[in-house]
Amino acid sequence: MIAAKLENAQFGEACAARIAKALAWVASTDLHALEPGRHDIDGDALFVNCMTVTTSLPASKSFEAHHRYLDIHYVIEGEELIGVAPVGECPELQAYNEADDYALYGDPADAARVTWVYLKEGELCMTPPADAHKPACPPSEPALLKKICIKVLMD
């Protein structure tokens, strides 16, 4: 979610161009027909992970964060809540894995620092590296969710 300190809101021209390309791809693709798995738009600089999952309660999940990629979460079918918190305020649970570009975090000490974004079909949320995020949580009861996560290289 882009609500950040000014120093964390600088994406650069290459990243901004990739975001525009990603959104154009979403607009021109039949997402309902998209098969689960990875779909390249521009190699490792811009690619899509399509998934169908059962949402799970927030207490059963950790926050995640990335160093190299901004995530664009887009709901194809169903609905989800995504918890978003400043990564610097979340205790690290699993150290950064450079090969897979992620680390896991616990909830921040101040629960008010978590913003919950409610997404329905056709809606999106962007989480840059400064945001720890807890995706695929249910607004009420766990249910099936088809979504894509577009990985946008920040370099």
Residues listed for the chain: 155
pLDDT in tens, 103-118: 999 999 999 999 999 9
Q: pLDDT grade, residue 5 (50/70/90)?
A: low
Question: What is d(CA 17, CA 25) in angstroms, rounded to the nearest whole number?
Answer: 12
The candidate with the shortest Cα–Cα distance to 93, out of 82, 80, 103, is 103
Report the predicted TM-score, pTM, of the whole model to 2 decimal places. 0.93
How many C-beta neighbours within 10 Å does residue 144 have?
Answer: 10
Cross-strand bridge partners of residue 153: 69
pLDDT in tens, 32-83: 999 999 999 999 999 999 999 999 999 999 999 999 999 999 999 999 999 9
Could you tell me if 125 and 73 are in contact, meaning their C-beta atoms sit under 8 angstroms apart? yes
